[in-house]
Amino acid sequence: MKKHNFNAGPSVLPREVIEKTAQAVLDFNGSGLSILEISHRAKDFQPIVDEAIALFKELLEIPEGYSVIFLGGGASLQFCMIPFNLFEKKAAYLNTGVWASKAMKEAKAFGETIEVASSKDANYTFVPKDYVIPTDADYFHITTNNTIYGTELFTDIDSPVPLIADMSSDIFSRPLDVSKYGMIYGGAQKNLAPAGLAFVIIKDELLGKVSRHIPSMLNYKTHIDNGSMFNTPPVLPIYSAMENLRWIKAQGGLVAIEKNNIAKADLLYNEIDRNKMFVGTAAKEDRSRMNICFVMAPEYQALEADFQKLANERGMVGIKGHRSVGGFRASTYNALPIESVQALVQCMQDFEKLY
Ligand SMILES: *Cc1c(COP(=O)(O)O)cnc(C)c1O
């Protein structure tokens, strides 16, 4: 049976990217060797890294003065690399979820860390908007898409201090104004590549300003100066990322990708709002296009397991909500075809007809 992959992460990738990756595992570039058994410094591999970085710059229209690097350790390692490299006196964080608060926790070990606003008391169902960014902070950290709660910030905000964004789960989902950011980073496994890879886009002029010693592996400068090859990078995920970026470009780039993401999200939110059995959990103006969270309406609460069962029978995978929100979460990343959303909507409509 056809599966509809709504997993939150690791998650759906374009079929084409998976096939190309599988091919490279069997025989990389007709070399008679697998990509798994060649050096990251092999002459055939360098063009893969170069093309991945070039496509980052092209698709996101990254201005001059920024570096793009690939690292291991996921987004979570960045939570501590950021203060190591950029925290001198004070940092500011917007608390919009568990990932945001984990990032903030690491900064606290380095000194004064200001939480400018938080939606924790409302179980992170919205993105706070009224707050003041301290102008004496070294940076201001935000999480643009809150994967667990299904809220998203769609605007590239103005910040008086360098803006740092965790875009693990919405990178490449819409065009960005990179010039508004000092740094953009994320784990690759939500919208880009298999797990094991993190990407960092950083404005070069922010580096080299802190007074502490930074261990080599945690120093962005090390990785920039060595073209992401200071040590062995996650070779296979970089290969898949490159193929995925080619795929994004072939779809028409980020303008086309965004249009498709809006169409998918509208389709599902419209059904959640129309269908008497379900309610959305995120504030309407902050509804994520990547992770769509909904629960049973109070009077139908007892039917949650029945809906889950019907969805399973129809090939829906990964729609169970995160334990801190409950209900359901359908992740609709770039690679999820609109047909999968249509199948979920059909399932919700058929379920409603049963009661
Ligand atoms: C998944 C996720 C993370 C954690 O990523 P790891 O690569 O597992 O460390 C951090 N931030 C956001 C927004 C996420 O969605």
- The domain spanning residue 118 has which CATH number? 3.40.640.10
The reply to whether 309 and 210 lie within a common domain is no
| Residue of 78, 99, 153, 331 to mutate, ligand 1, most atoms within 8 A of C-beta | 99
Catalytic pick among 166, 170, 247, 286: 166
Ligand 1 centroid vs 302 CA: distance in angstroms?
Answer: 32
**Given this model, what pLDDT does residue 89 score?**
97
The verdict on 70 and 196 lying in the same domain is yes
190 in active site: yes
Q: What local confidence, expressed as pLDDT, does residue 42 receive?
A: 87
Indicate whether 265 and 245 sit together in one domain. Answer: no
Query: Are 204 and 260 in the same domain?
Result: no
Look at residue 257 in the predicted model and tell me its pLDDT: 98
247 is catalytic: no
Task: CATH number of the domain at 263, please.
Answer: 3.90.1150.10
Ligand 1 mean position, distance from CA 168 (Å): 6
Domain boundary among 232, 250, 268: 250
* Pair 217, 95 in one domain: yes
Q: Exactly one of 20, 190, 203, 264 is catalytic; name it.
A: 190
Co-location of 165 and 96 in the same domain: yes
Tell me, yes or no, whether 96 and 196 share the same domain.
yes
The SS3 of residue 16 is helix
The residue out of 195, 224, 250 marking a domain boundary is 250
Question: Does residue 284 sit within a domain?
Answer: yes
Q: Alpha-carbon distance 141 to 100, whole Å? A: 8
Gap between the Cα atoms of 190 and 142, Å rounded: 18
Domain identity same for 75 and 58:
yes
The answer on 276 and 258 residing in a single domain is yes
Is residue 192 assigned to a domain?
A: yes
Is 349 a member of any domain? Answer: yes
Write out the E strands in the chain.
Answer: 4-5, 66-71, 90-95, 112-118, 140-143, 145-146, 151-152, 163-166, 183-187, 198-203, 278-280, 291-296, 316-317, 328-331
Q: How far apart are CA 285 and CA 304, in angstroms?
A: 26
Taking CA atoms only, the protein residue closest to ligand 1 atom 13 is 168
- Ligand 1 atom nearest the C-alpha of 99 is 11
Under a CB-based contact definition with an 8 Å cutoff, are residues 195 and 174 in contact?
no
Our answer to whether residue 99 is catalytic in this structure is: yes
What is the model's pLDDT at position 61? 98
User: Which residues lie closer than 8 Å to 54 by C-beta, 6 or more apart?
Assistant: none
Per-residue pLDDT of the chain (355 residues; tens, 9 = 90+): 889 999 999 999 999 999 999 999 999 999 999 999 999 998 889 999 999 999 999 999 999 999 999 999 999 999 999 999 999 999 999 999 999 999 999 999 999 999 999 999 999 999 999 999 999 999 999 999 999 999 999 999 999 999 999 999 999 999 999 999 999 999 999 999 999 999 999 999 999 999 999 999 999 999 999 999 999 999 999 999 999 999 999 999 999 999 999 999 999 999 999 999 999 999 999 999 999 999 999 999 999 999 999 999 999 999 999 999 999 999 999 999 999 999 999 999 999 999 9
Residue 165 within a domain: yes
Q: Is residue 4 in a domain?
A: no
Give domain status of residue 7, yes or no.
no
pLDDT at 43: 87
Domain coverage including residue 313 = 254-354
Whether residues 280 and 161 fall in one domain: no
Query: Is the residue at 8 inside a domain?
Result: no
Q: Which of 11, 71, 76 to mutate to test the pocket of ligand 1 (most atoms within 8 A of CB)?
A: 76
**pLDDT the model gives residue 1:** 83
In a domain, 259, yes or no: yes
Same domain, 133 and 170: yes
- The pocket around ligand 1, CB under 6 angstroms, is made up of 9, 74-76, 99, 143, 147, 166, 168-169, 187, 190
Atom of ligand 1 nearest to the CA of 195: 7
**Which tokens go with 142?**
């935000």
C-alpha to C-alpha distance for 158 and 181, rounded to whole angstroms: 9
- Number of compact structural domains in the chain: 2
User: Residue 181: what residue type?
Assistant: Y
Q: Are 170 and 232 found together in one domain?
A: yes
This prediction's pTM = 0.98
Determine the residue type at 176.
Answer: L
Query: What φ, ψ does residue 260 adopt, rounded to 5°?
Result: -65, -40
